[in-house]
Structure 1
Amino acid sequence: MREVVGNLLVLQRLEMETKRLTAADKETITTLRAKIPEPILAHYDRMRARGKLAVAIIRNKVCTGCHMTVPIGVMAVLLRGDDIQLCGNCGRYLYLPSEPEPAPAAAKPAEPKRKATPIKRRKKAEPMAAAPTSPTPEA
């Protein structure tokens, strides 16, 4: 079944490039359509008629069509390759690439955060007292 979804993916890529199709590409499209079972092809054509992609690749356990996490049971079926699976959210055929995704580049460790230094507050200004008067001799 993995081969059927792979054929759908190739068919989708070829049909997306309508401006640059050669005679060989058109022949390839016809050959691929002949290899795909009719009910699967009918669902594919309905999705394409709506202007949507019909096949979505799974990356990091997420459907690339709707960006929703794929349930673990669906992932297990796709890993076994026993059956074709549709995304429960967007309805696209799910394709799990056979080669593992390259590991993302390890982020360099962040510099340790500096401890916040408390802000020194000014003391409240005391009210100014009247200037001391010097004793004046009374005369």
Structure 2
Amino acid sequence: MAGERSKTIGEVGESIAENFFNKIGWGLPQKGVYYPCINSQKHALSTSKNGEKTQHGIDFHVSYKSSLESETLNNIIISVKHAKDSKYPASATEKFKGYIRDLIHTRECFLRSGDRRESNMAHKGCKRINDIPVLFYISS
């Protein structure tokens, strides 16, 4: 029961984020993307049963040619966190450090992924590539 509620809360957060991304012009992002982990022991979470991580899951991935910088591709890797039943934490430092650490590890593995290579090849003429992790935190 708690797992289903958590899943529903996460889906609501992703829907809010997706609507926001559409409004700012990021269009239709890829949803629920996974990248294989290239450093399974270093990237393992403390809650990992075997001390290893095999893949990184990300909520959204958006790739687009920048309208501000010529010949520049932006790969946006987005993690959405949605807290519904609690107030915004008074001291969220440790919680956010964990979210950001996981997002940085995801970016490291994204840099070597087939998805990144495909995205880069699909956007010809880009001499510069920005791989940008975004943490989207919603507190309802």
TM band (smaller chain): under 0.3
TM-score (norm: length of structure 1): 0.18
Give 1 or 2 for the bigger CA radius of gyration: 1
Which of 1 and 2 has higher RCO (CA within 8 Å, sep 6+)? Answer: 2
